Chains A and B, each alone.
Chain A
Amino acid sequence: MNKYRFLTFCLLAVSLLGIACGGGGDEAAAPTAAAAPAAATGSGAITGVINYANGDPDTAIGMDADPVCVGLHAEGAVTEQVVGDEGRLGNVFVYIKSGLSGSFPASADKVVLDQQGCMYNPHVSGVQVGQPVVIRNSDPTLHNVHALPTANAEFNKGQPFQNMEFEHKFDTAEVMVRFKCDVHPWMNSYMGVVSHPFFAVSGTDGSYSIENVPAGTYTVEAWHETLGTQTMEVTVADDAAAAASFDFASAG
Chain B
Amino acid sequence: MAAPKKTPDRHYDFTSMNKWFAWSSLALLLITVWMIFEDYAKPWKRFQAEFRELERQELAQEAEAERQRIDQDEIARIQAEIESEEARLDEQRSDLDELQDRLADLDDKVYEADVDARTTKSHLDTERFSYDVAQQTGDADKIAAASLAVDTRRATYQENRIALEAFTEQRAQVKAEIDRKMAGLSEDQAQLIALQGGLEALESRVADLGKGLDYFLLNAPVMDMLEPNLRIDQVQLTGLYQNINFTTVDRVDRCVTCHVAATRAGFDEEKWEEPFRSHPRLDLFVSSSSPHPYTQFGCTTCHGGLDRATDFARAGHSPESEEQKAEWKHEWGWEKQKYLDTPILPAKYSEAGCIGCHAGNVWTPSSTTQDTGRELIMRMGCYGCHKIDYPAYTDLPRSGPSLERVASKTNPAWAYKWIEAPRDFHPTTWMPHFFFQENIEGELNEERQRAEIRSVVAYIWDRSEEVSYPAPPRGSSDRGETLFDTVGCTGCHLRDDEANRDDYYPQFNRMHGPNLVRTGSKVDPGWLFAWIKDPKAYNPETRMPSLRLTDQEAADLVAYLMSSRDPAFENLTLPEVDGEVRDELVLTYLQGTQTIEQSRATLGSMDDTARDVYLGQQTITKYGCFGCHNVAGFEDVKPIGVELTEEGSKPIHQFDFGHIHDVPHTRQDWIKTKMLQPRIWDHGKETVKDYAELYRMPDFGMSDREAEAIVANVLGFTKESVVTARRADQTPGAAALANGRKLITRFNCQGCHLIEDIGQAIKTSITDPGLWPPNLAAEGARVQSDWLFEYLHDPGIESMRPWLNVRMPTFGFQDGDVNTVLSYFAAREGRDAFLSEPGRPDQRDLTVGQGVFAMLQCAKCHPAGPVDTSAGVSAAELAPSLLLARDRLRHDWVDDWIKDPLSFVTGTKMPVFFSQLDDGSYSSPLAQGIDLPMWRGEKDRMLRHFDSEAELKEYLADAEKVTAAMRDHIWWGLKRGS
A touches B (Cβ under 8 A): yes
Residues of A within 8 A of B (CB): 1, 4-5, 7-9, 11-12, 15-16, 18-19, 23-27, 29-32, 34-35, 62-66, 140-142, 144-146, 148, 154-158, 160-162, 164, 166, 182-185
Which A residues lie within 8 Å of B876 (CB)? 185
User: Given the interface contacts A12-B40, A23-B213, A161-B928, does A182 sit within 8 Å of B207 by beta carbon?
Assistant: no
B856 touches A65 (CB 8 A): no
B46 touches A4 (CB 8 A): yes
CA distance A26 to B57 in the complex (A): 13
User: Given the interface contacts A23-B213, A156-B902, A185-B874, does A31 sit within 8 Å of B932 by beta carbon?
Assistant: no
Q: Indicate the member of B46, B216, B221, B915 with the most A CB atoms within 10 Å.
A: B216
Binary flags per residue of B875-910, CB closer than 8 Å to A gives 1, else 0: 011000000000000000000000001100011111
A160 touches B929 (CB 8 A): yes
A26 touches B911 (CB 8 A): no
What are the 8 tightest A-B residue pairs by CB atom distance, in nearest-first order?
A158-B911, A144-B911, A64-B872, A29-B60, A15-B216, A8-B41, A182-B909, A142-B857
Which B residues lie within 8 Å of A11 (CB)? 46, 49
Return B108 CB to nearest CB of chain A, in Å.
44
User: Given the interface contacts A26-B212, A35-B65, does A183 sit within 8 Å of B902 by beta carbon?
Assistant: no
A182 touches B861 (CB 8 A): yes
User: Given the interface contacts A26-B207, A31-B64, A141-B857, does A182 sit within 8 Å of B872 by beta carbon?
Assistant: no
Return A177 CB to nearest CB of chain B, in Å.
14
Query: Is B934's CB within 8 Å of the partner chain A?
Result: yes
A161 touches B932 (CB 8 A): yes
Query: Is B333's CB within 8 Å of the partner chain A?
Result: yes
Residues of B within 8 A of A (CB): 37-38, 40-43, 45-46, 49, 57, 60-61, 63-65, 68-69, 206-207, 210-213, 216-217, 219-221, 333, 855-857, 860-861, 871-874, 876-877, 901-902, 906-913, 915, 925, 928-929, 932, 934
Which B residues lie within 8 Å of A155 (CB)? 902, 912
User: Given the interface contacts A25-B212, A157-B915, does A4 sit within 8 Å of B43 by beta carbon?
Assistant: yes
A35 touches B68 (CB 8 A): yes
User: Given the interface contacts A12-B40, A183-B877, does A156 sit within 8 Å of B61 by beta carbon?
Assistant: no
CB-nearest residue of chain B to A34: B68
Which A residues lie within 8 Å of B211 (CB)? 26
A32 touches B61 (CB 8 A): yes
Return A18 CB to nearest CB of chain B, in Å.
6
Partner of A183, one of B45, B855, B861, B929: B861
CA distance A4 to B333 in the complex (A): 10
- 5 A-B pairs in the complex with CB atoms less than 8 angstroms apart: A26-B211, A34-B65, A156-B910, A160-B855, A160-B913
A154 touches B906 (CB 8 A): yes
A156 touches B872 (CB 8 A): no
Which B residues lie within 8 Å of A64 (CB)? 871-872
CA distance A184 to B932 in the complex (A): 22
User: Given the interface contacts A65-B873, A158-B912, A182-B877, does A140 sit within 8 Å of B860 by beta carbon?
Assistant: no
Q: Indicate the member of B46, B207, B857, B906 with the most A CB atoms within 10 Å.
A: B857
A160 touches B856 (CB 8 A): yes
CA distance A8 to B230 in the complex (A): 12
B43 touches A1 (CB 8 A): yes
Return A79 CB to nearest CB of chain B, in Å.
16
Q: Is the interface of A mostly helix, strand, loop or mixed?
A: loop
User: Given the interface contacts A140-B934, A185-B874, does A157 sit within 8 Å of B912 by beta carbon?
Assistant: yes
A142 touches B60 (CB 8 A): no
B901 touches A156 (CB 8 A): yes
B46 touches A182 (CB 8 A): no
Partner of A1, one of B37, B333, B860: B333
Partner of A29, one of B206, B909, B913: B206
Return B606 CB to nearest CB of chain A, in Å.
69
Partner of B46, one of A7, A141, A156, A161: A7
CA distance A66 to B860 in the complex (A): 8
B57 touches A30 (CB 8 A): yes
Return B861 CB to nearest CB of chain A, in Å.
6
CA distance A26 to B60 in the complex (A): 13
CA distance A224 to B872 in the complex (A): 28
Which B residues lie within 8 Å of A5 (CB)? 37-38, 41
Which A residues lie within 8 Å of B68 (CB)? 34-35
CB-nearest residue of chain A to B209: A26
B213 touches A158 (CB 8 A): no
CA distance A210 to B180 in the complex (A): 59
Partner of B860, one of A29, A63, A161, A183: A183
Which A residues lie within 8 Å of B212 (CB)? 23, 25-26
Which B residues lie within 8 Å of A185 (CB)? 874, 876-877
Which A residues lie within 8 Å of B219 (CB)? 15
CA distance A184 to B876 in the complex (A): 10
CA distance A185 to B875 in the complex (A): 10
Which B residues lie within 8 Å of A160 (CB)? 855-857, 913, 925, 929
Q: Indicate the member of B41, B57, B855, B915 with the most A CB atoms within 10 Å.
A: B41
Which A residues lie within 8 Å of B856 (CB)? 142, 158, 160
User: Given the interface contacts A8-B41, A34-B65, does A154 sit within 8 Å of B855 by beta carbon?
Assistant: no
Which A residues lie within 8 Å of B69 (CB)? 35
B41 touches A9 (CB 8 A): yes
A4 touches B41 (CB 8 A): yes
Which A residues lie within 8 Å of B902 (CB)? 154-156
B57 touches A158 (CB 8 A): no
CA distance A141 to B929 in the complex (A): 12
Which A residues lie within 8 Å of B925 (CB)? 160-161, 164
CA distance A164 to B913 in the complex (A): 11
Return A67 CB to nearest CB of chain B, in Å.
9
Return B32 CB to nearest CB of chain A, in Å.
15
Return A225 CB to nearest CB of chain B, in Å.
18
Which A residues lie within 8 Å of B928 (CB)? 161, 164
